[in-house]
Structure 1
Amino acid sequence: MIDFILYSIKSGLYLAIFYGFYQLVLAKETHVKRNRVYLLTAILFSLVLPSISFTIEHEELAKVNQVVWEFENSIEDQLIIGESDSSQKIIFDSGFWMTLLYSLGVLTILGRFILNLVSIFKIIRANEIKKEGDLNLIYLEQAHSPYSFFNYVFWNPSILSKTENKQILLHESIHSKQLHSIDLLIIELLKAFFWFNPIIYLVKNALVEVHEYCADQACVINDTNKISYQKCLVQHIESRMNFNLTSAFKSSLTLKRIKMIKKSNTSVWAHLKLILILPVLIISMLSFDYSEIKADDPEMNISSNRESFSSPIKPAEKVWISSPYGERMHPIKKKKLFHAGLDIAAPKGTPIYAVADGLIKKLQANHVEGKAYGRFIIIQHDGDIASLYSQLDAYSVELGEQVKKGDVIGFVGTSGISTGPHLHFEIKKNGANINPADLIDLTSLKRK
């Protein structure tokens, strides 16, 4: 759900940029077919662009101290292992209610969408149909303005003059030929899944407006025709459209439509204004979807450091890896959780060794027996690598001490949450956990 929320936020921001540009630069121009293509393209790009990520490769600068403190903070966050049930429940509950609320919104709008479709087809089946060219005319008894859905036109010709009938049929035939109903179906479906995004409703209104402009533009041939057509619009100003999925001869856009009809044609050079959105879009894409990758550096490469590291515990008869890195069934909570390190079972008092040269950056002295990680040590190594040794029974080093690979730093114990004596061992590189087995040869500690 979190990933979808992030995707929706990015998509909404892109759509807001496209819509803002449309209103500021394009909306008042008479290139209405271009505006329709722009709005549909804006919707498509707003759905696709959030899934694109731009990466820039560069060399990583040394930041030893920074990595150490980031590492320690993340360890502190994990120390509340035995007291996190209530917070996890709150997170679960909030996630559940968010999903439920979102699902209800989707079902409500999808339900209304389906009801509208069913209502339209019921009207088609219940009334007389007359074929006229490519149009299917549905004769209604109600006295409201005509509307269309694909090549179906719903109207009551008895309340209209001969001239009005001709103008309206031409208008609705344009909606049919230009497939405006497909646009409306698409936008209604998107509204169902992005119902919480206010921009989608604004884009729909703009698209409906452009549909009417397109049809009006095709109907108006000369100045005389303009006048009679405007009179026809005013004549039906009190009528109402029945369904969100239909295109009506009359809508609440009447005044705007009349103003657009009176406008002089915009110059073809106005199309060049579309270029203005490119720098805005590029900056937005780099801002929303930028990520970086670090260039390979032999001194920083994990595989090249493998020979510099050794096992934290020497192989012995009762020493073995009891819990590997990765997802596992938690031995106490009895549910699957991600294990950020590995556990090495060993008799209490078994010596623990520094896996590589480094500096003792943290030595937990104020631990609570039987809680969290108990006594633990963090060693900072070269190459932005840090190692954690926890559940210790005792220390044999001091804070700030420089240690060599193989030096004894402590002894196996059960000072934290534990089902028996063991060493919980983690490694982080550049502030992120890695599998210790990728850096250290631990095959001798595996059970035969």
Structure 2
Amino acid sequence: MLYYLLQTVIFQVLFLALYDVFHKKDTFFNWNRLYLIITPLLSLVLPFVKIQAFRNQTSQVYVTKLERVITISSENLVVLGTTGADQNPTNWWMVIYCTGAGLSLLLLILKFYKLKVLKTVSFKANFNSKKIITLPNSNQAFSFWNTIYLGDALSEAEKKQILIHEIVHVEQKHSLDQVWFELLKIVLWWNPIIHIYQSRITILHEYIADATVIATIDKRNYIEQLLNVTFQTQEITFVNQFFNQSLIKKRILMLQKSKSKTIAKFKYLLLIPILAGILVYTSCGEESNQLTNTVENSKSNENSDSSNPSISHEPQCPNQQSLYDKNIDNYLKVRNGKSSEAILDIISTETSEKIRTIHFLKDQTFYIRNIPEGKYTINIIYGDNYAEKTVDGVCIAYFKDEKANEIGEGILDFNILKTEKGINIPSYNLSIDMTKKESELPDESSEESNTTVNGDNYGQAEPKCPNKNSSYDKKLDNYLRITTGNTAEVIVQIVTLDTEKSIRTAYIKRNEVYFIRNIPENEYRLIISYGDNYAEKTVDGVCIAYFKDEKANEIGEDILDFTVIKTDKGNNVPSYNITLDLNDNDPIH
């Protein structure tokens, strides 16, 4: 949310700067009015606009390092860090925002109340279907909606000119503009740019009304009246828009200005490159924004049904018996792929009871939070047309068009670990997708997915030549799990941080999962190449794997620490999950 609010402010500053530099002094008043009304709305909408074509123009190579997996007696445990006892602190940012919005709303209500009071104590009349309110003992003159307010201390000549001026405000519905900005000031009360926008639209309203008035009366007399007020030649203090001295000076200057040439309207086309740049920015930032929004949505809806059909959620009916522990700030982060919707059940290994059910849409991430301590397994159903039914008094989620289902073999241990460094609260990271039939998925113990180490025999994905100097530690049952996308084949080198030497090289084809196992204790970085037509060559006596048709390459920024952690419960053996993919075919080096 904070990222979104920052974006809206930046966009509004850009739009307002463009207006002040190129349009503010032009006489295209109605065009400027439309600009000032629409651009604040655009700033609120544009962060949500994602154009795939723009995104594809900017090629990106990304390495997504999932949370560190700690292995205890073959059970996969993620230790993310130490947390305190206060798991549900008050959201003071929301309290502050609601307080500010409430005060802004109260101020708007007071403004309407003052208008109502003025109507009750004043003399009322009608003129050309417009309501005229005569304010006793007053020099004020202003209008709102279909009503014009005139002080009875004004002269008849002043009333005549002011009446023509205020009728323009009424007929052109300038009050709608002001109400629009008042509502924006409630929602964005903390944003000073909205106040600047309103000041711009206010003076623009006066320009529009003045331009209409001088078409019916003598311009010189009209300007002289404004000058009398400006230089206080009459002993009258005016506190309204019509007689506001700071606005009057600007109005006089604009009245004396020649009309802008028609060709100057082409300056409005400058908005196009600004919009294009903003759309490129928002579209290319789609992935990170989506993740941020997903996290916030999951936090706010963790204990309730999400009625929004466009995001993954925990449906209310099958979660009637769900279990939560709000004192534990853990989570199971699940990323569903693009091939199918999914229903995920978390089942206790001790009681075989289902504690949570989540419905995942395609290509979405959801955080399942506040999971009680215990050990669990995962059941997954893939399909379309989500539905619910009651079986033996229990509400069950299912797909009318079921495609596949699987029972997770891994055990998720959510028991809290107490170590010398503090309390480690386990959380997990899981990627699910129905990319292949279950029978076609490589088994972790098979040659297709695992490295076979027995002398000169290397696994299928670890070619012999570039792995002549590979290092293994058979005593460590750790792994680096690599998942590739469908855009390119991948060559991965595991390089030590201290010596910059490659200890293993893996060649992985599209849409495959491969486990690089038995990695010695150390800290490593990845060197990744994307491309087609795998080949090998010798450089300075060293065999190197490469692609004849290389598309991109990069050095991973993440450090993979495979150092074993010793705890009271035994040795925790770290492992990692990596997802590699290339967005398009444009080369990046």
Q: TM-score range by the shorter chain?
A: 0.5 to 0.7
Query: How far apart are residue 182 of structure 1 and its match?
Result: 0.5
Query: How far apart are residue 338 of structure 1 and its match?
Result: 6.8
Q: Deviation digits for residues 47-90 of structure 1, max 9, x if unmatched?
A: 22121012247599997xx84xx527x4289965462226x75x
Q: Give the structure 2 partner of residue 175 of structure 1.
A: 169
Q: For 1:199-348, what aligned pairs fall within 5 Å after superposition?
A: 199-221=193-215, 225-237=218-230, 239-241=237-239, 248-250=242-244, 252-291=246-285, 327=368, 329-332=370-373, 339-341=428-430
Q: Unaligned stretches of 5+ in structure 2? A: 71-76, 231-235, 288-336, 340-348, 359-366, 374-413, 417-424, 432-443, 452-461, 463-469, 491-502, 507-512, 520-564, 582-589
- Label 1:27 to 1:266 Cα distance change in 2 as closer, same or farther (>3 A): same
Helix, strand or coil: the match of 1:136?
Answer: strand
Alpha-carbon distance in structure 2 between the residues aligned to 1:406 and 1:35: 61
Alpha-carbon distance in structure 2 between the residues aligned to 1:303 and 1:268: 51
Q: Give the structure 2 partner of residue 16 of structure 1.
A: 13
Do 1:187 and 1:204's aligned partners in 2 also have CA atoms closer than 8 Å?
Answer: yes
* Aligned residue identity for 1:226: K
Helix, strand or coil: the match of 2:372?
Answer: coil
Alpha-carbon distance in structure 1 between the residues aligned to 2:179 and 2:426: 43
- Label 1:130 to 1:341 Cα distance change in 2 as closer, same or farther (>3 A): same
Helix, strand or coil: the match of 1:275?
Answer: helix
Q: Which of 571, 575, 580 is residue 430 of structure 1 equivalent to?
A: 580
Query: How far apart are residue 266 of structure 1 and its match?
Result: 1.1
Alpha-carbon distance in structure 2 between the residues aligned to 1:61 and 1:262: 53
* Aligned residue identity for 1:171: H
- Label 1:377 to 1:178 Cα distance change in 2 as closer, same or farther (>3 A): same
- Label 1:424 to 1:121 Cα distance change in 2 as closer, same or farther (>3 A): farther
Do 1:353 and 1:407's aligned partners in 2 also have CA atoms closer than 8 Å?
Answer: no
Q: Deviation digits for residues 297-349 of structure 1, max 9, x if unmatched?
A: xxxxx899xxxxxxxxxxxx99x99999962652338999974249xxxxxxx
Do 1:138 and 1:153's aligned partners in 2 also have CA atoms closer than 8 Å?
Answer: yes
Q: Which of 440, 446, 449 is residue 356 of structure 1 equivalent to?
A: 449
Q: Which of 378, 399, 405 is residue 479 of structure 2 equivalent to?
A: 378
Q: For 1:379-418, what aligned pairs fall within 5 Å after superposition?
A: 379-381=480-482, 383=484
Alpha-carbon distance in structure 1 between the residues aligned to 2:135 and 2:515: 91
Do 1:52 and 1:289's aligned partners in 2 also have CA atoms closer than 8 Å?
Answer: yes
* Aligned residue identity for 1:232: Q
Alpha-carbon distance in structure 2 between the residues aligned to 1:148 and 1:29: 25
Q: Which of 16, 20, 23 is residue 26 of structure 1 equivalent to?
A: 23
Do 2:480 and 2:577's aligned partners in 1 also have CA atoms closer than 8 Å?
Answer: no
Q: Give the structure 2 partner of residue 122 of structure 1.
A: 117
Alpha-carbon distance in structure 1 between the residues aligned to 2:220 and 2:247: 17
* Aligned residue identity for 1:277: L
Q: Give the structure 1 partner of residue 43 of structure 2.
A: 46
Alpha-carbon distance in structure 2 between the residues aligned to 1:429 and 1:232: 73
Alpha-carbon distance in structure 1 between the residues aligned to 2:338 and 2:272: 43
Q: Deviation digits for residues 83-124 of structure 1, max 9, x if unmatched?
A: 2226x75xx65x712111111111111110111011111211
Q: TM-score, length-normalised on structure 1?
A: 0.65
Alpha-carbon distance in structure 1 between the residues aligned to 2:121 and 2:567: 75
* Aligned residue identity for 1:176: V
Normalized per residue, the structure richer in strand is 2
Do 2:69 and 2:576's aligned partners in 1 also have CA atoms closer than 8 Å?
Answer: no
Q: Deviation digits for residues 263-290 of structure 1, max 9, x if unmatched?
A: 1111122111111221122122212332
Normalized per residue, the structure richer in helix is 1
- Label 1:102 to 1:377 Cα distance change in 2 as closer, same or farther (>3 A): same
Query: How far apart are residue 205 of structure 1 and its match?
Result: 0.6
Q: TM-score, length-normalised on structure 2?
A: 0.51
Percent of aligned positions with the same letter in both sequences?
Answer: 22
Q: Give the structure 2 partner of residue 436 of structure 1.
A: none
Q: Deviation digits for residues 205-242 of structure 1, max 9, x if unmatched?
A: 100010000011100127x7112111222334464446
Helix, strand or coil: the match of 1:253?
Answer: helix
Task: Provide runs of 4+ in structure 1 moved above 6 Å.
Answer: 59-63, 320-326, 333-338, 359-363, 404-410, 414-418, 422-426
Q: Give the structure 2 partner of residue 309 of structure 1.
A: none
Query: How far apart are residue 423 of structure 1 and its match?
Result: 11
Query: How far apart are residue 291 of structure 1 and its match?
Result: 4.5
Q: For 1:110-189, what aligned pairs fall within 5 Å after superposition?
A: 110-157=105-152, 159-189=153-183
Do 1:7 and 1:50's aligned partners in 2 also have CA atoms closer than 8 Å?
Answer: yes
Q: Unaligned stretches of 5+ in structure 1? A: 294-301, 305-316, 343-351, 366-374, 387-398, 432-448
* Aligned residue identity for 2:134: Y
**Once structures 1 and 2 are overlaid, which stretch shifts more, 352-361 or 37-46?**
352-361
Alpha-carbon distance in structure 1 between the residues aligned to 2:471 and 2:574: 18
* Aligned residue identity for 1:19: L
Alpha-carbon distance in structure 2 between the residues aligned to 1:250 and 1:59: 51
Helix, strand or coil: the match of 1:196?
Answer: coil
Aligned-residue CA RMSD in angstroms?
4.8
Alpha-carbon distance in structure 1 between the residues aligned to 2:27 and 2:224: 21
